[in-house]
Chain A
Amino acid sequence: MKVTMTVNGEEVTAEIEGRLLLVHFLRDQLGLTGTHWGCDTSNCGTCVVWLDREPVKSCTVLAAMAGGHDVRTVEGLEQGGELDPVQKGFIACHGLQCGFCTPGMMMTARALLDKNPDPSEGEIREAISGQICRCTGYATIVRSIRWAASAS
């Protein structure tokens, strides 16, 4: 089947199987490997991308479901050569260790800050509670998101 969607502001059309998952479409067909593929069971959250501005776990969304919709991945965070404050925060506060959970964490963080520009530590922890950092580096991730809130 043919599917057309907008990914990071650009319209893409592709021939896909109905069963293709969005995470594999982004990584394997579009080459957008910033979105990571982790647990495959909608638990770890490293595959989080935006579907119409809302974070979703792309291992549990069919690529076909994104047809006609707007998808944004971690590659789309940077605007006009300028890193997003969330990305800067992860650099400034050592928010990434091995980096595997980072794309999902950053997409969820950006969505949180768009809705709630000044979240408390508790609100940040709640927002990223669907993401797992197996380095257990949560404290610095929370600090990075707070940094981004303060810098914006």
Chain B
Amino acid sequence: MQVPGQFEYERATSVEHAIGLLDRLGDTARLVAGGHSLLPMMKLRLANFDYLIDINDLHAELGHITVEPGRIRIGAMTRHRELLESPDLRQHFPIFADAERVIADPVVRNRGTLGGSLCQADPSEDLSAVCTTLGASCVIRGLDGERVVPMEDFHRGPYETAVGDAEMLTEVHFPLRPGGSSAYEKVERRAGDWAVVSAGAAVWLQNGVMTDARVGLAAVGPDTAGLPEISQALRGREPSEALYEEAGDIAARSCDPATDTRGSADYKRHLAKELTRRTLRKAVRRLEGRA
């Protein structure tokens, strides 16, 4: 029987209350949202805390998808199912639905949250790769107000984030630019598993030329990695199979996978290349209305 170590359970009634508790309790306390990453870690005693602060009552405040001119704001308590079912995200960022369909399973998706996924900072976690691909920014609130951290600085290494002891992630912002689409692909050992490798791509086209392109990879390094070299190679060029091949070669060369039970480093490099090609192709086809 797996049970977490002993802890005191507290329930936060507001963001301010949660931050106040974190401030008072220090690094012996941890926030719990959906709990589907944290509780399994605690059951295995890989994580132990003296206090758990339940923030599920903050869903009304932090569970939202808000479209504004130039950006979409998503609250940290927005659950996987809400990300999957959102018509706004389907329209603007189809990468979310692609990714959500292969994250865990529908019952787990009823509980897990965007903020929890990002704060877990697992290098093979799919929503982190989505946020990396889309160039998201993380809003972190503390006692003295908010600060905004770009996704590339949010993860400080496996299971470590930029969020301080008396801070919490409250929102994630996604820049919204016209003429763009996106896609996500994952190879897993079995349905609902962590990725062997996954890739996200976002592209923006104007008059048949890529004005920008971004690729993010999961499970091929210590963080979900954005690949700026691909963006540089693709900007200003017309989409073609040869170009996707070139981007795939950069992805295979730039990533740093480890051989483990999910596959050899060589196999993962192969997947990084192939999934980069597939997601770029799919995102471009979506823009051209062919998928």
Contacts and interface: CB of A to CB of B under 8 A. Distances in A.
B291 interface: no
- What is the interface residue range for chain A against chain B? 20 to 34
B246 interface: no
Contacts of A24: 3
A64 B55 CA distance: 12
A121 interface: no
B5 A19 contact: yes
A19 B6 contact: yes
Contacts of A43: 192
B160 interface: no
Interface residues of B, number: 29
B106 interface: yes
Given A18-B52, A55-B110, A130 B9 contact: no
A62 B192 contact: no
A127 interface: yes
A139 B237 CA distance: 49
A78 interface: no
B107 A55 contact: yes
A65 B54 CA distance: 7
Interface string B22-43: 0000000000100110011011
Given A18-B8, A42-B36, A60-B35, A130 B108 contact: yes
A21 B3 contact: yes
Contacts of B32: 62, 65
Given A62-B35, A65-B54, A19 B108 contact: no
A48 B9 CA distance: 23
Contacts of A127: 106
B159 interface: no
Residue among B42, B52, B107 with max Cβ neighbours from chain A (10 Å): B107
B142 to A, nearest CB: 25
B105 A130 contact: yes
A108 B32 CA distance: 24
B6 A17 contact: yes
Nearest to B3: A19
Contacts of B110: 54-56
Contact of A45 (B35, B107, B111): B107
